[in-house]
């Protein structure tokens, strides 16, 4: 059975980032209502050796945007957050969603068998398209979205499972 790589990539990434965007909106409102400096939440980590909230959001957006672009043989869009504020993090998620929405289903044809190459902080990696999606892109996206959720939940933001999953 052949997989529709577009359907396996773009809609799940858009859904995860849309839900993350709603969580960030909720966090910004929470910070304003409780007079919490945004930087306190944005710089919160679950543990000292983990990324803070801001970087969790940046990485989630980069993984989705870059992973989908590589699978579609499209240029990987660059996006550099200008500051660590909720407005900027929300803009980043919206930018990533727009990048995903711009991709066409036809661009993904044959991508499951194509060799995908990408650069990490320490090395260059290669993998076939389908394993790249299923063992790298989606797990990383979900890890960083979940960690952003967990940071905010641990910081007192009232979130539930449906905030993470979104509306069906």
Report pLDDT digits (tens) over 31-85.
Answer: 999 999 999 999 999 999 999 999 999 999 999 999 999 999 999 988 776 668 9
Percentage of the chain lying above the pLDDT 70 cut = 98
**What's the CATH number where 50 sits?**
1.20.120.450
Q: For residue 94, what are the domain limits?
A: 5-165
The answer to whether the CB of 95 falls within 8 A of the CB of 79 is yes
CA distances from 113 to 3, 66, 71 (A): 11, 18, 10
CA distances from 25 to 31, 32, 37, 57, 78 (A): 10, 11, 15, 13, 23
Q: How many folded domains does the chain comprise?
A: 1
pTM: 0.94
């Amino acid at each position: 059975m052949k997989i529709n790589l577009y359907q396996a990539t773009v809609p799940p990434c858009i859904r995860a980032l849309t839900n993350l965007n709603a969580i960030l909106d909720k966090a910004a409102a929470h910070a304003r209502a409780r007079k919490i400096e945004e930087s306190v939440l944005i710089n919160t980590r679950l543990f000292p050796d983990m990324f803070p909230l801001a970087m969790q959001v940046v990485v989630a957006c980069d993984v989705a945007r870059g992973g989908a672009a590589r699978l579609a043989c499209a240029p990987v869009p660059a996006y550099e957050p200008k500051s660590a504020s909720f407005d900027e993090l929300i803009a980043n998620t919206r930018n990533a969603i727009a990048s995903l929405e711009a991709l066409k289903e036809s661009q993904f044809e044959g991508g499951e068998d194509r060799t995908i190459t990408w650069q990490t902080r320490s090395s260059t990696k290669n993998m076939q398209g389908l394993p790249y999606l299923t063992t790298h892109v989606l797990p990383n996206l979900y890890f960083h979205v979940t960690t952003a959720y967990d940071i905010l939940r641990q910081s007192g933001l009232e979130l539930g499972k449906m905030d993470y999953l979104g509306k069906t």
